[in-house]
Structure 1
Amino acid sequence: MVMPSCDPNDLEGSTRLIEDLTANARQVQQQVLNEILTRNQGTEYLHGFLRGRKGRDLFKKKVPVVEYDQVKPYIDRLANGEPSRIISAQPISELLTSSGTSGGQPKMMPSTDEELDRKTFLYNLLIPVMNQYVDGLDQGKGMYLLFIKPEISTPAGLTARPVLTSYYKSRHFRSRPFNRFNVYTSPDEAILCPDSKQSMFCQLLCGLRQRDQVLRVGAVFASAFLRAIKFLEDHWPELCSNIRTGTVSDWITDASCRDAVGRILREPNAELADVIESECRREPWEAIVKRLWPRTKYVDVIVTGSMAQYIPLLEFYSGGLPLVSTMYASSECYFGINLRPLDLPSDVSYTLLPNMAYFEFIEADKTDDRGETGSVECNYTGDLIKVVDLVDVEVGRYYELVVTTFTGLYRYRVGDILKVTGFHNAAPQFRFVHRRNVVLSVDTDKTNEEDLLKAVTQAKLLLEPLGCLLTEYTSYADTSSIPGHYVLFWELKTKASSDPSHIDSAVMEDCCSTIESCLDSVYRRCRSRDRSIGPLEIRVVRRGAFDALMDYCVSLGSSVNQYKTPRCIQSREAIQLLEEKVVGKFFSRKLPFWEPYTMMEAKAG
């Protein structure tokens, strides 16, 4: 039962499997923990706490709940060549880099070959779930825009790469059964092309060439799908030319990608090029997805968490097509699936599958003194922590997710804050609320309040020679354009003038660049290499703007005594309030420095 087989073509059998797993969630969780402890009781990590013993109660009493800083020394040792058995009885085959961290470099999570089987199991379950809600998906293809990212080699020769790059390069993806529900317009060669621009062009070209067969479109994240729309907006004349002539542009130099796309183009198709061109010429681009791919039934992208900010743009471009978030996963492990995929994005809940890992939850409190962030945090010290099992969570309460995986993580705090919305059989369903401490995110970047403060502290030093002080600031992620970008509202106090709009624009632009240079490597990569984040912007507001923001928050119920300026605002009304008081706008004019993470920093000693 812990790792049952799942045939995505057997819809009835797959549905029955989901019912069995969720109905027996408590027993399955116990089996998972027993298997993990039996396998790994001899590892250095677990032996240090359990001394060769096992059992749920002893595990909970002796093994501490940990964060990444407490796991990192073991990861560094693996990266530098020490044996896998320090944390796992199974060989660690690679390290998976997280999308973001506050530590300046991506976190790295251990993984094994077996874990790819577990990921494939979850992917296979998505098909029967969708077929319960959408008919006829076997009558066409999916236009999924999927990409790989650079990977590195650790000093010991382990590969470190993002989790999706690992999956797309695995035999599980490349040898996946092309069942009638699992056919994509993008050839594997285009997905695996290391040049992201060539990959994007070729995948869109294949999707347009096969437009009449497309029944669903998507990407992993909403931000990636919108980048594809922007790319299409910039390159549709060239894409139409390729279709019209039946040839691929000369600048597509990746040989395997070029050959694979050439096989799909086959021959000139002027009629199709004319249809696509006529739609792309129409302004505005409202419902462009539905117009270019008229048979599309839904858009498959993650729109929960920080991706929710893209919903208005997605609705504009998709013409009201359902937005479907199918699964919940991370670099640590894959967690669960959405059993009601056509729910509105605001109502999406994920059912954690009890065989994927051993799940625990830290009780969290919803705080009311953070203005517009609506934050939920876990407030505890030492032994005061209260952790409950998967089946013991309560509807309506907030929790932080803790996982024990088959790959060597034990009672690890993932950092995701979840709200229990109900149960499917005995398995709870959760709405993703936010990442712990994260205040800003546009793409795969995750900037927390502490890192933002450090960056602003460095930038405001540039103001001192001008006799100018930063008195207040807040921020938000502006996703009204593509790509989105960080916006900071600054209220300044100057000695020379009461009008902060007269401040030197070159200095303010340097402030923008300084903030960007101080943010972590994931942000800088998204800005400098991926170009998935636009230049950071500082909007200077006139004096009194933040007093007005406080008045607004207090009017909504915040306590005057406990009020703290929110370092990130999400309310449109609050943003508009500050917008009305903007006296100057400044943008970063430089790309921040970024280079791929080298493992030299991870060497022990």
Structure 2
Amino acid sequence: MLLPKYDPDNNETGIKILEELTTNVCQIQQQVLEEIITRNVNTEYLRGFLDGVYDKQLFKEKVPIVNYEEIKPYIERIANGESSNIISAEPITELLTSSGTSGGQPKMMPSTAEDLDRKTFFYNLLVPVMNKYVDGLGQGKAMYLLFVKPEIKTPSGLMARPVLTSYYKSSNFKNRPLNRFNVYTSPDETILCSDSKQSMYCQLLCGLLQRHEVLRVGTVFASAFLRAIKFLEDHWKELCANIRTGCLSNWITDVGCQNAVSTVLCGANLELANTIENECRIRSWEGIIKRIWPRTKYIEVIVTGSMAQYIPTLEFYSGGLPLISTMYASSECYFGINFKPLSNPCHVSYTLIPNMGYFEFLPVKKNGEKVAQDVRSNGVRDENCVGSETELELTNVVDLVDVKLGEYYELIVTTFTGLYRYRVGDILMVTGFHNNAPQFRFVLRRNVVLSIDTDKTNEEDLLKAVIQAKLILETLGLLLTEYTSYAETSSIPGHYVLFWELTSKGNNNEPLPELDREMMEQCCSTVEESLDSVYRRCRKKDNSIGPLEIRVVKHGAFDALMDFCVSQGSSINQYKTPRCIKSKEAIEILESRVVGRFFSQKTPSWQPINFA
């Protein structure tokens, strides 16, 4: 059975299933591929390549490796009313939208009813892993701040919505057992409220009311958790007033939220209000999570990839709590589980679960040479390890069991829901094995770049450079809470612009002190020195790129950016601050909140490559 039935409360059985899955990787992967193809071999898409015949070698020879643009027409036909049989023998029941903030407009991925069971099975596997490392999780609740966004109905009547919205609105989530790992402080009605502000307020209020029952806190991405902390900073007085009086604020108009919160807000609680107020009014919010929720064992947020830049800020607020990234998943497929959840966030690896889909791997090369094998402890790659789109070669694709330790690969997935040899766009590095299952570290998303001339700076290049500049900020007692960038090309030559939102360490929610111009200019130069040789050549030798600029924005600017992105269709639950923005409206939102502008005052060093 590809989805074995078991009682998720049975920890021993869960561990046994994980051991079987990670031991029998080869057999399970072959079974997965055979089942997917035999089910769907007569779909319009596969029939054109396989002519109704299943054969693994034929599949690899004839079915092309594709990106989203190549399968988009098939998905749009289904969205417009044609039969699911274009790509899937099973009925497509909904379309899952990506966040749309990493590489352009949201994508739509097919999903079936069975896929919800597969996701539920995957979530259940997280329970025995966490129970293995953290004791007593069944003796309290989780304050997980979870959000949905309104669905979009396609012309066919199918709903298009983010993958987590789909799951939270499903019967699998609503009818989950309430006697174990998934007991939340947030009533379902507050999670399912489409007004993100009312949802956030009510979920935080319920979390505060149940502060002594909270054993773990979290959101999906680190950025969302920090947004929640900022929201608490802005609203703690009102939240305490609600607790003190036993009455919910009048601006909460969502009936579901009103009814659900009323069951938790059972009368006035002067003592609790005073306790929370005393903690929140302290000038420094260092360790605020542990102070407000004293029984908390860890914070569960994704801090891999671009989320790694939030680690210092999370550590500041956490009071020493572990930061745990439990899983690796996307709209296309749920992929892997972190089998060592208490490991340092910089060293997180995910073990791919072989019954989730059929996985292949495209070795990532540059100019025909193998990539460097060292990834630094913060997950930032060597500057020469990943090539651009045109440098990736669609050759020597390998199966899950054939990847090599230390090598870099782009993930390709074939799913049960109608995706065949689909390039996910994630670059991964093999870090080890659990039994026979490879473990991967997420390195970066492919082709998220800034470019002025021949330079191409991707998301990971930028993160590496910003991390170096942040060391200067720390000497000034400042924290970088958010950043993004864009290529300013209205001037000649064009230049990189970084928007930075800063806060004073230890001075909660207070205005920034006057920034030291010389030190901020040094930050600009440090970023430039940390970028790759092509950028530095363009700056120093070619003069085709102007001095890098840092624009410091006032507190709340990135909240406004998020609000704008959500209004344009992004999901608050899946939102990730875009590290490169191109929208004029988004740039104007940040530009209107700029409080300081600083430019690099020296050109970065550069030496031509010597092949002698």
TM-score (norm 2): 0.77
Which residue of the partner structure matches residue 575 of structure 1?
A: none
Amino acid at match of 2:402: D
Query: Per-residue displacement from partner, 1:98-139 (whole Å, max 9, x unpaired)?
Result: 112677421111111110100000100111100000001111
Task: Measure how far apart 1:354 and its partner are.
Answer: 0.2
Cα distance change on mapping 1:384 and 1:281 into 2, 3 Å:
closer
Deviations 1:227-253 (A, max 9, x none): 000000000001001111111111100
Q: Secondary structure at the match of 1:132?
A: helix
Secondary structure of the structure 1 residue equivalent to 2:20: helix
The answer for the alignment partner of 2:331 in structure 1 is 331
> Is the alpha carbon distance of 1:27 and 1:438 closer, same or farther for their aligned partners in structure 2, counting shifts above 3 Å?
same
- Show CA shifts across 1:242-285 (max 9, x none): 11111111110001111110100111110011100000011110
1:318 is matched with which residue? Answer: 318
Q: Hey, what's the Cα distance between the residues in 1 that align with 2:306 and 2:567?
A: 15
Asked if structure 2 preserves the Cα contact closer than 8 Å seen for 1:217 and 1:300, the reply is yes
Deviation track 1:315-366 (CA, whole Å, cap 9, x = no partner) reads 0000110000000000001011111000000111100000000000000137
Moved more, 48-57 or 371-380: 371-380
Alignment of 1:290-369 (within 5 A): 290-365=290-365
Aligned to 1:399: 409
Alignment-derived partner of residue 596 in structure 1: none
Paired residue for 1:576? none
Question: Aligned in 2, Cα 1:544/1:202: closer, same or farther, shift over 3 Å?
Answer: closer
Structure 1 spans left out of the alignment, 5+ residues? 441-446, 464-468, 494-499, 563-605
Alignment of 1:122-521 (within 5 A): 122-365=122-365, 376-377=386-387, 385-439=395-449, 460-461=489-490, 463=491, 469-473=492-496, 475=498
> Structure 2 CA distance, aligned partners of 1:417 and 1:193?
35
Worse-matched range after superposition: 528-537 or 132-141: 528-537
Q: How does 1:59-78 map to 2 (within 5 A)?
A: 59-78=59-78
Structure 1 residues 94, 77: closer, same or farther in 2, change over 3 A? same
| Distance of 2:419 and 2:576 partners within structure 1 | 33
- Preserved contact between residue 489 and residue 495 of structure 2 (Cα < 8 Å): no
Q: Which secondary structure state, in structure 1, belongs to the residue aligned with residue 429 of structure 2?
A: strand
RMSD: 3.6
**Distance change (3 Å), C-alpha of 1:395 and 1:187:** same
* Paired residues for 1:548-559 under 5 Å: 548=604, 550-551=605-606
Given that residues 147 and 572 in structure 2 are in contact (C-alpha distance below 8 angstroms), is that contact kept between their aligned partners in structure 1? no
Preserved contact between residue 223 and residue 576 of structure 2 (Cα < 8 Å): no
In structure 2, list runs of 5 or more residues that go unmatched. Answer: 373-379, 451-456, 463-484, 510-522, 529-535, 540-545, 579-585
Distance change in 2, residues 1:16/1:456 (3 Å): closer
Cα separation, 2, equivalents of 1:372 and 1:524: 35
* Distance change (3 Å), C-alpha of 1:561 and 1:525: farther
Offset of 1:384 from its aligned partner? Answer: 5.1
Deviation at 1:522, TM superposition (A): 7.2
Q: Kindly indicate whether the alpha-carbon contact (under 8 Å) linking 2:389 and 2:447 is maintained by their aligned counterparts in 1.
A: no
Question: CA 1:68–1:528 in structure 2 vs 1: closer, same or farther (change >3 Å)?
Answer: closer
Task: Name the aligned partner's letter for residue 19 of structure 1.
Answer: E
- Secondary structure, counterpart of 2:364 in structure 1: strand
How many residues matched? 516
SS in structure 1 of the partner of residue 489 of structure 2? helix
Q: List 4+ stretches of structure 1 deviating above 4 A.
A: 101-104, 370-375, 378-384, 474-483, 487-493, 520-535, 537-544, 559-562
- 2:13 equivalent in structure 1: 13
Distance 1:101 1:191, change over 3 A: closer
Aligned-pair identity (%)? 62
Q: Which residue of 1 aligns with 2:590?
A: 536
8 A Cα contact 1:14 1:125, kept in partner: yes
Residue equivalent to 2:531 = none
- Could you tell me how far apart the structure 1 residues matched to 2:2 and 2:148 are? 30
Pair 543,378 (structure 1): closer, same or farther in 2 beyond 3 Å: closer
Counterpart residue identity of residue 41, structure 2? Q
Contact 2:359–2:413 (8 Å) recurs in 1? yes
Amino acid at match of 2:414: T
SS of 2:284's equivalent in the other structure is coil
Q: Report the alpha carbon displacement of residue 541 of structure 1 after superposing the two structures with TM.
A: 5.4
Does the CA-based 8 Å contact 2:141-2:184 persist in structure 1? yes
User: CA distance change for structure 1 residues 480 and 79 in 2, over 3 Å: closer, same or farther?
Assistant: farther
Q: Paired residue for 1:565?
A: none
Whole-Å separation in 1 of the counterparts to 2:308 and 2:321: 16
